[in-house]
Structures are given as structure tokens and as C-alpha cells.
Amino acid sequence: MKKCTFAIAAGHQETANAASIVLEDGGNAFDAAVAAYWAACTAEPCMASAGAGGFALVHPVGQKPVLVDFFCQTPMGSPNPAVPFHPLVVDFGDSTETFYIRSGSIAIPGAVAGMFHLQEKYGTRPMSVLAEPGVHLGKRGVPLNKFQAYDLFLLKEFMGDTEKGRSLFYKEGRVKRTGEVIALPQWADYLDDLSRKDARSFYCDEPAKHLIRDHEGHLQVNDLSTYQVIERQPLHVHFLDHDIWTNPAPSMGGMLLGLMLTDMNRWPLEDLADPIRFQPRWDQMCSNLRKNGIRPETLAALLSQWQTSDELPPQAWQGTSHISVVDHAGNAIALTFSIGEGSGYFIPGTDIHMNNMLGEPALLPDGPFTWTQNVRLGSMMAPTVMASKDRESWTAMGSGGAGRIPFMLAQVINRMVAGGLHVPDAVQAPRSHRDDQSLHMEPGFPDRVYHQVYTAPVNPWQKASLFFGGVHAVNWHGDQQEACGDERREGVGIVR
């Protein structure tokens, strides 16, 4: 077995382990990310699925970074209010939010096409090898950790809307708890079979036929058979002496991140490096963004020198997970993905839970069934790669956290670049977030920071929280590498 130096950061130990297995066998970072994704379908079932979508920022050594868009797409046909479409309220404790499930909420999934695209264009190992850890986990099962159990509890009505969902995620009439095992044996068998074929078999054969025939939703044969992965030129911005590449239009997260870093470039270095001076300026910048309106057209205008004239569709703000990998050669990938909350529909015989992207409130500004036909959905996801000026250091990162994602990434990047912190310290350092009511602040800042004058009342949190994202980041600097999975979401970092 070939041993090599690498770094992995992911949202679950088993997700990271799958990547490690492939890297230890001589695979590259892109192979590892694909293997990790298939493992996440069991280890992180509220985040990952063959029915999901996402984005990958890939940096092959010696080449320019590329954004691989395999996010969900709206159907070609018109919205139909007669299809099954049901509201569910999620209670987050301090707030509630309504989402929609069932077949009318399902958009065209891109995860399968995306994984095959990464493997075929950038990988070195056959898909059957990359699928092995995921197949094993699906059959054996994975005990729920605290974060996954909490996520499953929040989404229990989505995951348990059908008898199939209840059979997988419930026990004795209630949703499974920490330590109880989630196994997806039919997914394991299907993944094993899929890995010996190609993406077309998912979009054109039995799974597609079930989607069209069984669920009475919007998707039709042509919607699935014509789905394409899109490679885009990343949004490229400079921050101090670093180059940063992130998710471009039609997504909004990367544009927002780029806008903040561009503004922060004009600040004195001492304001960036000192948390006491940083927080008032950060609060004011975030307040100004909210006054201008965090909308695609606003950000596109502000970043017009970097954007094309493509029309920007509505944005998805759903929860996410993330995988970052760098290998011994310096190849890097940042991979972010989501199924939204899930539609409650599982493709028969596969254990595949389909997304509910057409049931996301952020995609329904004028109410249900108002989405635009045949467009790639945008997102606040912002997988990001950063390079030092001398190109001797590369960092891959991304986060969950819905609309807070770019704000969390900007703070981590600033801690690394202006503050000089290593990846673990930058990721675990306290963060803040300005919403319409408050400036939320985690514990750990200098005492004076909480008592300064801001544009909104300060809400001091008693402990670090998943509210402030889940940044999983890795850094490559020749034979010196770092990895950190965010403790806020029980993330895992591996360096070997």
C-alpha cells in the first residue's frame, strides 16, 4: 500500500475515513472527495444523497482552479399546483421556518452526475474502487453522533413522512437517537451496481423511471436525461497577498464572500488583525450589506467587473455539509453539498432520499410553484480555494450554515491571512454574525469586544454553536499540511 502525506477535513469521521482509505492507496484528492461523498450518504444522511446537489472547487496541480457545478436544476415544464406538496414547520428553538416536501418539491438532482464527472475528468481510480467505503458503510451502518442525531431530530417529519423513511430512521415509533445505527442496505447494493456503470444509468434507467412513474411530481424524462454538469470559471478575488477562488454566478455565496473580502482589503491591517478593532468595522460592513439588500442582482452589480451578464436565478439557503482534501502532490478540492431538508420521497429499491429544493422558501419569493423553469438553482454555498502569493501554500475550505456561510468563511480567511493563524486556530476561533435584529457573538472574544458600540444590540452566546457554521478546512505547504473539522458540527480533520 502506497503511503503519502495528505490532509482531510469533513463533517463526520466515517466521511473522512473513506477519503483516507483512498489516499493511502495512492489515489488523489479528487478520488478521495468522491469516496468521501459516497460514504457521507450513510454517515451524514440529512446532508448527502444521490438525490442531492452541490459544487466543487477543484485545483489540479499546475492548472487554474475550476468550479464544478452539479447543483439541482428546475424542471422544463411549468409549475403544477396539483402535484403533492405539503408544508412542514421546523422548530429551531429560537425560531421556526416552514419548508415544503413531497414530490412537488423535488428538483433535478446533480450529485451522481457530479461524482462521475469528478472521477472521470480529475480522478485516477475506477468508480468501483471509490464506492467501496460507501458500500461497506451502507451495509454495516453508522452510529449517529450527537450532531447527526440532532439534525435528524430537527428533520424527523421530513425523514419519516413515508413508511420507507420511518423504517430507516425511526425505532420503536420515534426518530433514532445518538448511538443508534443508521444502515442503508439497499443504497449499498445500488451504489455497488452504479459504480460499475455510469451516471447515465441513474438518469435514464430504473431510478429515473421510478421518479417519473411513482411520485407524480414535476420531473419528466427529458429533465433527467439532459442534466449536465457545468464547469465554470471561479470568481477570483485578492485579499492582501493571497488569491482566492470561489463559487461564481449563478450562486450568491461566492459573490458575497468576494464582496466582503474586497471591502476588507481597504481596511488598515491593524483593523483586520486586532479583534477589538475588527468587530465594529465588521458589524458596519454587514449592516451596510443588509441595508443594500443581499440579493443576487445587488451583488452582481457590485461585483460587475468579475461577473458575466448571465441572469441570476433565486437562491437556495438550505443546510449543507462540506469536504476538503489536499493530497501529497498539492491537488486540492473543496466540495459542498445538500439535499435541502429532503422531500420525504425515497426511490424504491435504492434507499435514495430525494431533495426538496423546489420547497425551499428562499426559492419561492412569490409563494409556492413560482420557480423559474429550466434554470440551474443558485446557492449560498461557497467552496473556496486560497493560495499564497508565492503559490507555496494552498488552502481548501467550505462550510455549512445556510445564509451565514460566506460570513463565516470571510472570518476564517481573515484570521489566517491577517491574523497569521494556522488552520485549526482560525477555524475554532470565535465568530460573530449580524442579522436584522442582533450582532450574535460567540464566547471567547476579549471582554471589551462585547461592550463596544455596534449598529445592533449584542447577543452574547454562552457557547460555540452550529449557528456559526461548520468550516472544514485543509492547508498544503509542501510536506507540511494541516486539517481541521469544525467542532461546532463535530467535524473531523485528518493529517497523515
Catalytic residues: 320
CA distances from 483 to 16, 320, 386, 404 (A): 11, 19, 14, 22
> How many CB atoms neighbour CB 491 within 10 A?
28
The C-alpha torsion from 434 through 436 and 439 to 443, rounded to 10°, is: -80
Label residue 446 left, alpha or beta by phi (over 0 means left) and psi (-120 to 50 means alpha).
beta
> Which residues does 167 contact at the CB level (< 8 Å), separation at least 6?
none
The residue among 301, 325, 324 whose CA lies nearest residue 252 is: 301
Whether 470 contacts 489, CB under 8 Å: yes
C-alpha span between 427 and 486 (Å, rounded): 6
Query: Residue 264 belongs to what H/E stretch?
Result: helix 253-264
User: Which sign, positive or negative, has the C-alpha torsion 106, 110, 111, 116?
Assistant: positive
Q: For residue 168, what is its C-alpha cell?
A: 430507516
Burial of residue 332, with CB atoms counted within 10 A of its CB: 0-12 exposed, 13-18 middle, 19 or more buried: buried
Cα separation of 489 and 41, whole Å?
17
Q: Nearest Cα to 29, choosing from 53, 60, 55?
A: 60
How crowded is the C-beta side of 401, counted as CA atoms within 13 Å? 25
φ, ψ of residue 470 in degrees (nearest 5): -150, 80
**Residue 289 vs residues 88, 96, 191, 282, 401: alpha-carbon distances, Å:** 31, 24, 44, 11, 18
Q: Are 57 and 396 in contact (CB under 8 A)?
A: yes
CB-based burial label for 96 (10 Å; 0-12, 13-18, 19+): exposed
Q: Which residues pair with 86 in a beta bridge?
A: 101
Lookup result for grid cell 428562499: 362
Task: Say whether the peptide bond before residue 45 is cis (omega within 30 degrees of 0).
Answer: no
